[in-house]
Chains A and B, each alone.
Chain A
Amino acid sequence: MKSKNIHTRISIIFFISILITFFYGCGKKLPEDIPIGVKDIVLLNQDSSRIIFPDSFKGKTLLLSFIYTNCPDICPMTTHNMQLIQQQVKKEGIDNVEFVEISFDPLRDTPSKLKEFGDIRDIDYNNFNFLTGNPVGIKSILNNMNILALPGDTTETKSGSKIYFFTHTDRITLIDKNGRIRNEYRGSKANIQAVVNDIKILGD
């Protein structure tokens, strides 16, 4: 009898905890609400298809990051996190979310390079685009979104190829259906479930 009472109490506490978690999540407001400040930039995706940024993604929740494919350390971590978020979003049945990575190294990152970068990581291109384009257009996006990407040390290989790397911002940005920035995360260290929860707060 005593054991039955304890079980009932545990069940009630568990049920109340779930309710608190649910309502807290629903009521949570995302801290930032800033217009993206970019309009009608023509870019190309990994298949060389024209994408108007950000207009092509209007009406959809957008998760955006900036990378360059010659980056051996930080950018692959960011891309991997974007991929994990995409997989979790799909698993939880959340629709209307697009994933975009824009290269801040458009001179080297041609559409075919972006495709190669995505293919070797088994990226699901269904709602994931890598974008490149005219350096002027890319620069305008970087400036408006406060992304820094500064070419740094140059290394020369035995064959004489010159290699350079960037010192750069490490960020994933969550943008709502109206093109407003709603949250920002450290790209290479993003908490996957926290980002997914924020996407859920924005809703379909």
Chain B
Amino acid sequence: MDTQADPIARKDSPVRLVPGLDLMAARLSAQEGFVLSRIAGETTVQLLCDGTGLGDAATIATLRTLYDKGFIIVADQRATPVVPRPPAAAVPAPAGPLSGSGSVELDERLGLDTAELAQVDTEEATGIDLKRELRLRLRSVRRRLKEMSFFELLGLAPDADAKALRRAYFERSKEFHPDRYYTKNLGPYKEMLAEIFRQSKAAYEYLQDEDKRAAYRVLVLAQQEEEQIERQLRRQSAEALEVVHLAGPPPPATPSGDEGSAEQSAPPLATPVVPSLPWRDRRDTAGAALFQRSLRERLVTSPRGVTTRPPTAPLVSAAVAARGPATVESVEADSAERASRRDRDQARQQRQRQQRVAGTLGGGKRKAQDYFEQGLKQLEEGKLLAAAASLKLAATFDPDNLEYARRSETVGREARASTADGYFKRALLEEQVGRTETAALYFQRAADASGLGLHLQRAAEGMMWLDDLKNAREYATKALQAEPNSVDARLVLARVLLAGGLKEHARREVDLALKLAPGHPGAKELLKRIKKA
């Protein structure tokens, strides 16, 4: 690290996270984590000083520590991604309806695991002469290729016109076309470049059709809106939770209490005690302990394999990345160890936070009411997702109000159905485009959100495309539970079982299906296949 030049001291220096940084493994103090969480894409030191509320000196000191530890880099202008994120995006979006425009940056903070990072370090010996930063970027993009929408693939705002589309494609080509690295020894990156280029090209070709672009835009915008609302909800809920924590000893949390006891028991601000939207995680959000436990579970146990990441995983890690060092270690870190890391600046931060909390606390009920009214208004305006988020917040701020809870529940359910519908459509679209793996991901999301039989069936099929038979079986079973009399559900399960080599089980399902619908052609064909296998 070049500490001599000290680029952090310059306030216009743009800093960014080291691409592919594994936050799970990073050992950070709470304040370091907090500052880290404020860095969105490329963020200038000035913006960070303004945004952390720690004061310039503390912010810069923390940034320098992060820099020295190798978690952040001062972005080299020439090496930055082609679509710079507008600085405004660095601060959390304001409440209210969300505009769909603005550039979408490839978020580099997601995707790479430690094994892959280690590989990046060791492969230098093999004579690959690409810059480390570029290699990290290529691996990161390749990793998330399947998840990204066509707009994200091209770094394009969904409302872009034909000209912007072409420009974006040209920019991407300049970055990823293998000819750009003609003289380089590319090793495995040759295929990565070609793959990324091919996908970008496919995106470009698909979006060139005005009608297709419009249809795709509608779906992607709806999802973007939802994700943004969710991020917002996380942020606000975290604040609400903080009130809860500071107000009384957790658990269980109550909205009333005095702030005097807060200081020692308060978790560091950066600890992401964050509830999800109800349709993401149907666990109740009653108490802080539960949150922490559920969080820990989600972090420690990676529920699925690497390639078949559960749909919620990117969102969880997005939240983690946005909020800071969500390491198990930091959650469990005892207060003594934490205290030893704190410096005077952090004490000041504590004081500031207390002042802020004191301000919010009295207004809990009022805030709840505000959110409730906002939610009803949004409902009237047809903004189902935003309404669900607002009502959920109302219920969080004032858990005793049964009316809030009831409305939150019903609207939440409705929003969930609509979200699932969006995911399902997106999946069908991606399937039609030929991106089956992407389609599989969205079928899965749809199924997780709605629990509808059809969605679960398609999710099961999608998991088969991904060769994830364990999950395929799970979804197929759920599909059958949702619709016990559905012949199709039974056949999907049979197909999964057959694929897993469980011939007898498969056969039993087909027999049952044929009992339900004698002479069903699909069932008969499957039976034939089972016999042959």
Are A and B genuine complex partners? no
